[in-house]
Amino acid sequence: GAGVSQTPSNKVTEKGKYVELRCDPISGHTALYWYRQSLGQGPEFLIYFQGTGAADDSGLPNDRFFAVRPEGSVSTLKIQRTERGDSAVYLCASGLAGGPDTQYFGPGTRLTVL
Amino acid sequence: QKEVEQNSGPLSVPEGAIASLNCTYSDRGSQSFFWYRQYSGKSPELIMSIYSNGDKEDGRFTAQLNKASQYVSLLIRDSQPSDSATYLCAVNTRGSGGYQKVTFGTGTKLQVIP
């Protein structure tokens, strides 16, 4: 079956612009996670959705970052007024409810802010 | 103190040798422990999970957990050049809302020399 997909695979934008990153989880997975991975670092937790609601958004670095999952499937991570420090690979993972051991990662979106 | 600590490496081992990767964690309440492999430019891939003290073997991989010492390790026997990658240790930690979220270490880069 299809795995987690993310679009776009690469996004180059200018400082101050708005970007949207999309994640399409594995069908039937109710848990969805967003991570950010900078060069030489491990994935850094951003936000977790259980169904449509954000169960934990404590990893979002500031109010420029926002994520939605309106129908409990596809999720969009939105970044306003992008800064050069936002440049990273944004990873999405999905899983079954009740256990982090079932997370499956998508290929990621590489965001470059010029 | 970081929640999950790993030596960034690189760890170089000759082909056929045993590679030993180590990780310590700070949250004594953690219950689940994971090793992910990440090839350059790719997303993390779960290779081992362990929940109880002791050893867990899967093919050439053995995960070892010592909760009293807050230590988890991964042994790779008969290392192959294809094992060259970054190995991420991940530990579940308490997230807001009572669910268990995964915290990653920075990863150890493994190089297997032919």
| Tens of pLDDT, residues B39-96 | 999 999 999 999 999 999 999 999 999 999 999 999 999 999 999 999 999 998 766 6
Contact residues on chain A for B45, CB-CB shorter than 8 A: 105
Give me the total of CB pairs closer than 8 Å, taking one residue from chain A and one from chain B. 60
**Residue B87: closest C-alpha in chain A:** A42
Residues ≥6 apart with Cβ < 8 Å to A38: A44, A87, A88, A89
* Alpha carbons A105 and B90: distance in angstroms, whole number: 14
Q: What is the pLDDT of residues A71-85, one digit of tens each?
A: 989 999 999 999 999
Average pLDDT over residues A94-113: 84
Residue type, B40: S
Q: Which of B43, B96, B99 comes nearest A91 by C-beta?
A: B43
- A108/B105 Cβ within 8 A: no
| The length of chain A, given as a count of residues | 114
Asked whether residue A103 carries a pLDDT value surpassing 90, the answer given is no
- Give the integer Cα–Cα distance in Å for A58 and A88: 19
- A interface toward B at CB cutoff 8 Å? 33, 35, 40-45, 48, 50, 55-56, 58, 91, 99-101, 103-108
Whether the Cβ atoms of residue A105 and residue B43 lie closer than 8 Å to each other: yes
